[in-house]
Structure 1
């Protein structure tokens, strides 16, 4: 399983992707709640990989505000929890890498990333006929994009699909 996070200053989105990259658990919760969720997953030994979107600087000349730095603190807290349980650091995925990997374009927006995921894996679906992404909304799309990009950049071609139950 791949656990991936789109971090925020107060709330973060997460997804747990199975070997086929289908989201089996996901949500957007308060960061303190996510710490507990992560701890529960780590104690279950069901996480093979952990990826977090990392804050980056893109030379826009815009100053960073308090929310950016608060998000950095939470990335550190999630990292520390993972390291404490596994002795490993998570993999940090830059937003620009998600855009290039999924859309082939640095100018891609959230809606382009959502559409690229739907094009690749299938429709969202309905309550009567749930699709690949049924129930996914808002920032959870970004969390899934982190996990899929991690897979594509670090695992594809290494037999991950065959090794993980």
Structure 2
């Protein structure tokens, strides 16, 4: 089984397509939202995928800017385009799953992934072009999409790291 997860943004979004059993990345990227939507619509990313998730925006009572509202629009467009019924999952749940704390930062989540899948590997498990590592090509929002995908795969198997 494959799991697709999206970390949405107002202009670009990160995505991770992983093997649910091994948690190995099959395809990852950070691309323009219109390109990601197109890939979902034409089945490039959504065909053959049984489970999908998208990070959902949550309100904590603070004022937000137009970027947050634009991201919300894209979340809806991605859910509709996927045909999967992407499950909206809140960031807080991802933090608790990987770090055990709702106060965790992006860097803490990245470190939790590195510790789990590439412990002791140089360059945070990215490797090199000649010898790609587990996290080869990861940057920015791709890490957060991966964290979401791993959490979904863990939930499917009832795993609690």
Query: Where do 5+ consecutive residues of structure 2 fail to align?
Result: 119-124
Distance 1:106 1:157, change over 3 A: closer
**Is the 8 Å Cα contact of residues 41 and 47 (structure 1) preserved in structure 2?**
no
Q: 1:147 to 1:43 in 2, by over 3 A?
A: closer
Aligned residues: 151
TM-score w.r.t. structure 1 length? 0.84
Q: Structure 1 residues 81, 28: closer, same or farther in 2, change over 3 A? A: same
What is the 5 A alignment of 1:61-76? 62-76=62-76
- Tell me, which stretches of 5 or more residues in structure 1 are unaligned? 159-165
The 5 A counterparts of 1:94-105 are 94-105=90-101
Structure 2 equivalent of residue 14 of structure 1: 15
In the alignment, the residues of structure 2 paired with residue 26 and residue 104 of structure 1 have an alpha-carbon distance, to the nearest angstrom, of: 25
**Are 1:91 and 2:93 an aligned pair?**
no
Q: Which moves more between the two structures, 39-48 or 69-78?
A: 39-48
Matches of 2:43 and 2:96 in 1, distance apart? Answer: 30
Match of 1:131? 133
1:66 deviates by 0.5
8 Å contact kept, 2:40–2:46: no
TM-score computed with the length of structure 2 as normaliser: 0.86
